[in-house]
Chains A and B, each alone.
Chain A
Amino acid sequence: MTTDETVSGHVVGHLLPGGTPASEASALVRMEQHRSPQAVLELMRLPEATPDEAVAVRQVLSLVGHVIDNGIWDELSALVVDDVEVQIGTMRVVGRADVVAWLTQWSQRPSHHTVNTLVRRDGDGLVALSRLVTIAGDGSVASADAVDRLAEQGGGWRLVHRDLQPRHPGATSSAGDDSDV
């Protein structure tokens, strides 16, 4: 694990600035994961999206990863709404411009990999439950639960709200819903 200050936001947790210090990493192999049992259950019980909708959502989520990793910010307007909200643990960023500003504060961003996406219909919109895996330049890996809400706009599906909860979040995380289900 690197101690390079330029990637300090991308060590264990990757998605949370001030996450667990790398120097503590070896002791945290068996760090317990975040849990949101009730939220996951409610999302998984929603009706499945159509295959066309699922493909469209996977396109958006994957493209968002490509945009972030390659810094091709002018592509983002076709993928997310102007007032997109991004929640990362307890931190919240609102508006596409502010999200880009937040992402570009580091010279080295980890690469983003979206896997295990379930797409469900929720009212007039779609919601996707995914794992967002990030791999930093030093080879370290982090994973987060991603809940993405999308609305139909301008003939396509666009990201309205992204909620990221790191699986191994460190001290700065929210505690999860802890529901007894």
Chain B
Amino acid sequence: MRTPDAATATQIYDLVARHAHAFDNRSWPAMALAYEPDARIGGPTGDTGAVSDLPATEHNGQVFFSHHTTDTVLHQVDENTVRAWSKYFVVRGDGTAGSGDFQDTVVRTADGWRITQRRGSRGNRPDTDPDGPSTRELDAASWRAVG
């Protein structure tokens, strides 16, 4: 693991925190302050879509839970690329919570650091989870790997 300098880390902690505020409030222009225009999202095995497609979720009746990221760790790949691994948890309308992981590829741009790829993995959850069961899949190897 190669840890970025403190100034870079501070900027990326701020960046990672932006998703919850922008996405949960459906503030789509604010998503551009967190993601590159061509950023991709997906699960442990690969990309499943584009961040730019997320506004469509506002109109398909899908209800998301509020997101919170914690415990972000950083691995500097090169001068302009960092891999970030965060825990996340959601809070549901009934006062229950669920946990998972995000792994992001973060790149330096003229406007500051931006996420260019985010992959998420829900934690170990039982059959009774509102979205069904899941098993933790991301790990340290996937954190250090770009792409």
Chain A residues engaging chain B, CB cutoff 8 angstroms:
1, 11-12, 20, 22, 25-41, 43-45, 48, 51, 54, 115-119, 129, 131, 133, 140-143, 145, 167-168, 176, 181
A117 in contact with B17 given A30-B63, A35-B25, A167-B66 (CB within 8 Å): yes
- Having A31-B92, A131-B66, one finds 6 other A-B pairs with CB under 8 Å, namely A12-B94, A26-B94, A31-B63, A33-B66, A116-B17, A117-B17
The residues of A that contact B92 with a CB separation of less than 8 Å are 29-31, 168
Give the contact stretch, choosing among B26-34, B38-46, B118-126, B133-141.
B26-34
Q: Size class of B's contact patch?
A: 20 to 34
- Report whether B66 and A143 are in contact in the complex, using a CB–CB cutoff of 8 Å: yes
The residues of A that contact B94 with a CB separation of less than 8 Å are 1, 12, 25-29, 31
- Report whether A40 and B25 are in contact in the complex, using a CB–CB cutoff of 8 Å: yes
Complexed CA–CA distance, A115 and B10 (Å): 14
What are the nearest 9 A-B pairs in CB distance?
A31-B93, A140-B95, A37-B27, A116-B17, A25-B94, A28-B93, A167-B66, A143-B91, A30-B63
Report whether over half of chain A's contact residues are helix, strand or loop; otherwise say mixed.
Answer: mixed
Complexed CA–CA distance, A127 and B6 (Å): 22
Contact among B30, B64, B95, B97 for A41, CB-based, below 8 A? B30
A181 in contact with B29 given A48-B14, A167-B66, A168-B66 (CB within 8 Å): yes
The residues of A that contact B147 with a CB separation of less than 8 Å are none
Chain B residues engaging chain A, CB cutoff 8 angstroms:
6-7, 10, 14, 17-18, 20-22, 24-30, 33, 63-66, 68-70, 91-97, 130
Query: In this complex, what residue of A is CB-closest to B24?
Result: A33
A37 in contact with B69 given A1-B95, A142-B95, A167-B91 (CB within 8 Å): no
- Report whether A115 and B68 are in contact in the complex, using a CB–CB cutoff of 8 Å: yes
Contact among A38, A40, A54 for B21, CB-based, below 8 A? A40
Contact among A22, A51, A131 for B7, CB-based, below 8 A? A51
Q: List 29 A-B contacts (CB under 8 A).
A: A1-B94, A25-B93, A25-B95, A29-B94, A29-B130, A31-B92, A32-B63, A32-B93, A33-B25, A33-B64, A37-B28, A39-B25, A41-B29, A41-B30, A44-B18, A44-B21, A115-B17, A116-B17, A116-B68, A117-B17, A118-B14, A118-B18, A131-B66, A131-B68, A143-B68, A143-B91, A167-B24, A168-B91, A181-B29
